[in-house]
């Protein structure tokens, strides 16, 4: 995605995937301070571990407690979270209902970004997770209500977001086994942050019940657009990122 964006912007930049074992994170981050390095994206398990090694954090990254984008400015590293605004942009693009209860499945870093983003819009949020204690800790930090998977009475729900990793590279895995999607109102949107496979079991079952359902490719493209903007100051159209991600099979 970012190579396509550099080409689109006519900039002579490159983007490399680097595997960093957890103990080597501080050294890897230190290398980002070098001149000529714009920054980096972080993925699991570094999104949370990086916080204490950076010079500054945006308010969103601090509140969420996770950084997916690091920006190098003259040797100082700032941590940002573009997952949160990336999700909001994806939901706006999908014309998700703007009112009503939003149910977020999962309680990891992606769920924290989702809850922070939705709460920043004044949205009522319920966090539903396999491990209730983790959902409770999340809502203590960020607001909303917590529930264990299995209890699926959600009056007024209009938006169901899978922010768990159930379904990732596992087409028949679902965070909601035995869920009756016809219980959701017909205008509800089901959004699965998982984009590989393109159609998870969750999305297939939601569509079979006549609901609108989207995978996480749009969020992936939007968070990338915002990271590229933070690094370069150039706002490349999201379609460039989406085409590159789709063409590459969606692997970040």
Residue 78 has phi, psi (to 5 degrees) of -110, 135
Is 79 a residue that touches ligand NAP (CB under 6 A)? no
Is 63 a residue that touches ligand NAP (CB under 6 A)? no
Indicate the residue among 129 and 158 with the shorter CB distance to ligand NAP.
Answer: 129
Cα 66 from Cα 81, distance rounded (Å): 7
Q: Which stretch binds ligand NAP (CB under 6 A): 15-23, 124-132, 178-186, 229-237?
A: 124-132
Is 64 a residue that touches ligand NAP (CB under 6 A)? no
Read off the DSSP letter of residue 171. Answer: T
Is 147 a residue that touches ligand NAP (CB under 6 A)? no
| 98 is a catalytic site residue | no
Indicate the residue among 45 and 99 with the shorter CB distance to ligand NAP.
Answer: 45
Cα 4 from Cα 247, distance rounded (Å): 11
Is 133 a residue that touches ligand NAP (CB under 6 A)? no
The structure tokens listed for 222 are: 């939007």
Is 85 a residue that touches ligand NAP (CB under 6 A)? no
Do 154 and 103 contact (CB within 8 A), yes or no? Answer: yes
Of 47, 112, 225, 242, which one is the catalytic site residue? Answer: 47
Is 195 a residue that touches ligand NAP (CB under 6 A)? yes
Cα 158 from Cα 91, distance rounded (Å): 12
List the one residue from 39, 79, 144, 216 that touches ligand NAP (CB under 6 A): 216
Is 108 a residue that touches ligand NAP (CB under 6 A)? yes
Is 111 a residue that touches ligand NAP (CB under 6 A)? yes
Q: How far is CA 113 from CA 18, 26, 41, 121, in A?
A: 24, 23, 15, 13
Residue 73 has phi, psi (to 5 degrees) of -120, 105
- Scan residues 28-57 and list those touching ligand NAP (CB under 6 A): 44
Do 150 and 168 contact (CB within 8 A), yes or no? Answer: no
Do 178 and 154 contact (CB within 8 A), yes or no? Answer: no
Cα 78 from Cα 71, distance rounded (Å): 5
The structure tokens listed for 106 are: 């999962």
Is 134 a residue that touches ligand NAP (CB under 6 A)? yes
Which single residue brings its beta carbon nearest to ligand NAP? Answer: 108
Is 69 a residue that touches ligand NAP (CB under 6 A)? no
Binding site for ligand NAP (CB under 6 A): 44, 83, 106-111, 129-131, 134, 163-166, 168, 173, 175, 193-195, 216, 219-220, 223
Q: Which residue numbers are catalytic? A: 47
């Amino acid at each position: 995605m970012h190579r396509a964006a550099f080409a689109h912007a006519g900039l002579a930049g490159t983007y490399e995937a680097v595997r960093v074992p957890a103990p080597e994170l501080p050294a890897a981050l230190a290398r980002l301070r070098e001149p000529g390095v714009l920054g980096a994206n972080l993925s699991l398990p570094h999104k949370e571990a990086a916080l204490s090694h950076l010079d500054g954090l945006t308010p969103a990254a601090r509140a969420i407690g996770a950084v997916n984008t690091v920006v190098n400015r003259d040797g100082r590293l700032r941590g940002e979270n573009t997952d949160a605004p990336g999700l909001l942009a994806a939901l706006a693009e999908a014309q998700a209902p703007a009112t009503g209860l939003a149910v977020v499945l999962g309680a990891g870093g992606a769920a924290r970004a989702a809850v922070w983003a939705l709460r920043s819009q004044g949205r009522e949020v319920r966090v539903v997770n396999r491990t209730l204690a983790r959902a409770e800790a999340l809502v203590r930090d960020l607001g909303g209500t917590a529930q264990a998977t299995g209890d699926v009475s959600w009056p007024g729900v209009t938006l169901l977001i899978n922010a768990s990793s159930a379904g990732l590279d596992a087409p028949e895995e679902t965070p909601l086994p035995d869920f009756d999607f016809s219980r959701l109102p017909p205008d509800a949107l089901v959004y699965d942050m998982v984009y590989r496979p393109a159609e998870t079991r969750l999305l297939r079952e939601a569509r079979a019940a006549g609901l609108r359902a989207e995978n996480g490719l749009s969020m992936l493209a939007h968070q990338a657009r915002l990271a590229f903007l933070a690094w370069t100051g150039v706002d490349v159209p999201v379609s460039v990122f989406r085409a590159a991600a789709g063409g590459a099979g969606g692997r970040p």
